[in-house]
Chains A and B, each alone.
Chain A
Amino acid sequence: MGTRSLNNPIAARLRLPGMRAESVFRKILVLSALAIVVLLTAIFLSLLLQSFPSLKVFGLSFFFSKTWDPVSSQFGALVFLVGTLLTSFLALLICLPFSLAISIFLGEYFREGSLSSFLKNVTELLAGIPSVIYGFWGLFVLVPIVRNLEMKLGVLPYGVGIFTASLILSVMIIPYAASIGREVIALVPSDIKEAAYSLGATRQEVITKIILPYARSGIIAGILLALGRALGETMAVTMVIGNSNFLPKSIFSPGNTLASVIANEFAEATGRLYLSSLIEIGLLLFLVTMIINIIGKYIIRKVSVEG
């Protein structure tokens, strides 16, 4: 312990009497780190425990049944699971080209200057807008636009639905993907880039062949964060998705998501099985987020070893 704190340059500067403060400080850090683990486990366990009644009655069929009928106490989560995955991945797809473009622009082309910091702040401000405002904007601005589009396409012009929800989500998650992307792109060492330039590479070649491969794992981490945000987003989605408990026939159909059904029905849910089924939906959302995170971590490790 003593030698360790002496090796620590800060502790060395403070000299020995700092040791006690140091150990207290360390203990606080360890405790905080442990608290996170305990908290996560506790949340998982309490979700699991409270969804027991529903797990017992419906078993695995909970995940494959598309009936959600509080009157006859028949509960299945398939519609919501599909809705959550569909909106999140569609949003990711829409957001990808924009967030990548923003990250390259701010990370490579305009790294400094007032225009750059202005753009950076505006992008980050997008993340700070409360989701209910996105929902309102979606309902009053996007819905009529999507409705016109749907009329031209000849599908039922609901205006609300999976597609509208994905559009809103994509705008909401752009800042997450973009700001991490920008940081990792800015971190690409300039000697590699200069080496490429000296070999006669064009700027575009440097971006596609040097910068993007080098920053790949970081960019993917940003996308992952964005996806996590999209999976759990509730308010904005519920305002424009149509909240219809049917499997969507197309991306223009109304649908529903895991987070949105919990938010909608929890307050008035009476009856043990009903409540427990809603909690099981929460458990499912928890698991989906976890699985996607684990897959993402795996991808990051894979690509960063290659890079």
Chain B
Amino acid sequence: MIKERKELGGSRMKNLFAFSLALILSIFSASTWAKGVELVGAGATFPYPLYSKMFDAYWRETGVKVNYQAIGSGGGIRQLMNMTVDFGGSDAFMNNDELAKAPAKILHIPICLGAVVLTYNLPGNPKLKFTPELIADILLGRIKKWSDRRIAEVNPVVGLPDIDIFVVHRSDGSGTTFVFTDYLSKVSREWERKVGRGKAVNWPGGLGAKGNPGVAGLIKQLPGTIGYVELVYAYQNGMPVASLMNKKGSFVRSSVASTTLAANVPLPDDTRISLTNTDAPEGYPVSSFTWILAYKEQAYKARSMEKAKELVRLLWWMTHQGQKYTESLHYAPLPAEAVKKVEKINKSITYNGDPILK
């Protein structure tokens, strides 16, 4: 009987079963191959190119692997709240309500600065200047043509064509949108009342495109468009960048240097500050920190002391030695005052109540 069954293909089926079982087992065990400490982070996409460069360099120097998933600031915060990652990345700081919902105290550690720039597509791509009022009125849909007198008043030398203005904004929720709408809310009462600030807002008009590459791509495709992208993308794509009038009344072209200068203002101890429209006389007005978020008390969910130590070491490295990678990738390094604040925050991280760095 048993012999017969084997002849009937039962053994073949058994073999198949054993094979698939072995396959599944090997897949599961593959994840346990990685040895040593590996730090896991998730969050903002904006600093991702910089972070991957930094983490690669860090791995070469120290042998510690850092795995960063660029899933967006919101996702990073959610994962940190669920305590499934060692750190989160965010372009917008968490407000008091959000912090109150966190299971434990969360610290903000700024890593670098980014700038959001206005870029456009016009015949010949002239260099344009914008005042805050001008930007707000264009985005609110009040100025509809490039030939509008008010644009010409600020840009007297440039002859602008009589074509429609199409505003391009982000269609996905993003820190870039937050920084830009935060700026608009600061310079225009009407914008603050009608639209407000957020990672995604109810745009009064225009077209949406997904991600910085999407916005850059659409602007390049459509003559007459104006939109905002991260500084990096405008440079990488060779797109024109507008000079903006800052709070002190001077027109500033966005650059790595003028972005760092925007942080030349008194900073709060927790570094949670919006750097748009700051009082810095030479600062570019649409700048922002990007932060790494981590818990102040590292002994949670059975994390090892070793892991906590590695995290603190990594954060120290990123805000010191790691800063040298910023400029070549068009990110702005932290100003000296910010680094001092960061050092203090870093030293306040504890494991079972004891500071990790001494």
Q: Which residues of A contact B (CB under 8 A)?
A: 14, 17-18, 20-21, 67-72, 74, 139-140, 143-144, 147, 156-160, 238-239, 242-246, 254, 256, 260, 263-265, 267-270
Interface residues of B in 13-34 (CB under 8 A from A): 13
Q: Are A244 and B198 in contact (CB under 8 A)?
A: no
A98 → chain B closest CB, angstroms: 26
**A to B CB contacts below 8 Å, 24 in the list:** A17-B1, A17-B5, A18-B8, A69-B201, A69-B202, A70-B198, A70-B200, A72-B196, A72-B202, A139-B217, A140-B221, A147-B222, A157-B164, A158-B222, A238-B210, A242-B207, A245-B203, A256-B171, A260-B171, A264-B171, A268-B174, A268-B175, A268-B200, A270-B199
Q: Given A268-B174, A268-B200, A243 and B72 touching (CB < 8 A)?
A: no
Q: Are A265 and B202 in contact (CB under 8 A)?
A: no
Cα(A243)–Cα(B200), bound, Å: 12
Cβ of A270: which chain B residues have Cβ within 8 Å of it?
74, 77-78, 98, 199
Interface residues of B in 31-79 (CB under 8 A from A): 71-75, 77-78
B179 → chain A closest CB, angstroms: 13
Indicate if B160 sits at the interface (CB-CB under 8 A).
no
B298 → chain A closest CB, angstroms: 24
What 4 pairs across the A-B complex have the smallest Cβ distances?
A268-B173, A243-B208, A243-B171, A69-B202
Q: Are B72 and A268 in contact (CB under 8 A)?
A: yes
Indicate if B205 sits at the interface (CB-CB under 8 A).
yes
Cβ of A71: which chain B residues have Cβ within 8 Å of it?
195-198, 201-202
Indicate if B10 sits at the interface (CB-CB under 8 A).
yes
Interface residues of B in 71-93 (CB under 8 A from A): 71-75, 77-78
Q: Classify chain B's interface size.
A: 35 or more
Known contacts A21-B10, A71-B197, A143-B221; 12 additional CB pairs below 8 A are A21-B5, A21-B8, A72-B196, A74-B202, A160-B222, A238-B171, A244-B206, A254-B208, A265-B200, A267-B74, A268-B74, A270-B98
Interface residues of B in 124-162 (CB under 8 A from A): none
Cβ of B166: which chain A residues have Cβ within 8 Å of it?
158
Which B residue sits closest to A266, measured CB to CB?
A: B173
Q: B171, B173, B203, B209 — which one has the most chain A CB atoms within 10 A of its CB?
A: B171
Cα(A158)–Cα(B210), bound, Å: 16
Q: Are B201 and A70 in contact (CB under 8 A)?
A: yes
Q: Are B207 and A244 in contact (CB under 8 A)?
A: yes
Indicate if B214 sits at the interface (CB-CB under 8 A).
yes
Which B residue sits closest to A16, measured CB to CB?
A: B4
Q: Are B4 and A17 in contact (CB under 8 A)?
A: yes
B84 → chain A closest CB, angstroms: 16
Q: Are B221 and A267 in contact (CB under 8 A)?
A: no
Cβ of A67: which chain B residues have Cβ within 8 Å of it?
202
Which A residue sits closest to B81, measured CB to CB?
A: A270
Cα(A28)–Cα(B4), bound, Å: 23
B321 → chain A closest CB, angstroms: 31
Q: Are B222 and A143 in contact (CB under 8 A)?
A: yes
Q: Which residues of B contact A (CB under 8 A)?
A: 1, 4-5, 8-10, 13, 71-75, 77-78, 98, 164, 166, 171-175, 195-203, 205-210, 214, 217-218, 221-222
Which B residue sits closest to A261, measured CB to CB?
A: B171
Cα(A267)–Cα(B45), bound, Å: 11
Cβ of A147: which chain B residues have Cβ within 8 Å of it?
222
Cα(A159)–Cα(B199), bound, Å: 26
Q: Are B214 and A239 in contact (CB under 8 A)?
A: yes
Cα(A157)–Cα(B225), bound, Å: 11
Q: Are A268 and B208 in contact (CB under 8 A)?
A: no
Cβ of B218: which chain A residues have Cβ within 8 Å of it?
139, 160
Which A residue sits closest to B95, measured CB to CB?
A: A270
Cβ of A245: which chain B residues have Cβ within 8 Å of it?
202-203, 208
Q: Are B207 and A254 in contact (CB under 8 A)?
A: yes
Which B residue sits closest to A69, measured CB to CB?
A: B202
Q: Are B208 and A70 in contact (CB under 8 A)?
A: no
Q: Given A71-B197, A72-B196, A139 and B5 touching (CB < 8 A)?
A: no
Q: Are B75 and A267 in contact (CB under 8 A)?
A: yes
Q: Are A242 and B73 in contact (CB under 8 A)?
A: no
Cβ of B207: which chain A residues have Cβ within 8 Å of it?
158, 160, 242-244, 254
Q: Given A21-B10, A67-B202, A270-B199, A265 and B210 touching (CB < 8 A)?
A: no
B172 contact from A17, A160, A264, Cβ within 8 A: A264
Q: Are A267 and B71 in contact (CB under 8 A)?
A: yes
Q: Are B203 and A268 in contact (CB under 8 A)?
A: no
Which A residue sits closest to B7, measured CB to CB?
A: A17
Cβ of A156: which chain B residues have Cβ within 8 Å of it?
164
Which B residue sits closest to A25, measured CB to CB?
A: B13
Q: Are A243 and B73 in contact (CB under 8 A)?
A: no
Cα(A238)–Cα(B218), bound, Å: 12
Which A residue sits closest to B207, measured CB to CB?
A: A242
Q: Are B173 and A20 in contact (CB under 8 A)?
A: no
Q: A156, A158, A159, A268 — which one has the most chain B CB atoms within 10 A of its CB?
A: A268
B74 contact from A158, A260, A269, Cβ within 8 A: A269
Q: Are B210 and A243 in contact (CB under 8 A)?
A: yes
A195 → chain B closest CB, angstroms: 46
Cβ of B210: which chain A residues have Cβ within 8 Å of it?
238-239, 243, 263-264
Cβ of A72: which chain B residues have Cβ within 8 Å of it?
196, 202
Q: B201, B205, B208 — which one has the most chain A CB atoms within 10 A of its CB?
A: B208
A228 → chain B closest CB, angstroms: 23
A245 → chain B closest CB, angstroms: 7
Q: Given A139-B218, A158-B222, A243-B210, A269 and B8 touching (CB < 8 A)?
A: no
Q: Are B9 and A267 in contact (CB under 8 A)?
A: no
Cβ of B217: which chain A residues have Cβ within 8 Å of it?
139
Q: Are A70 and B5 in contact (CB under 8 A)?
A: no
Q: Given A147-B222, A267-B75, A70 and B8 touching (CB < 8 A)?
A: no
Cα(A74)–Cα(B173), bound, Å: 16
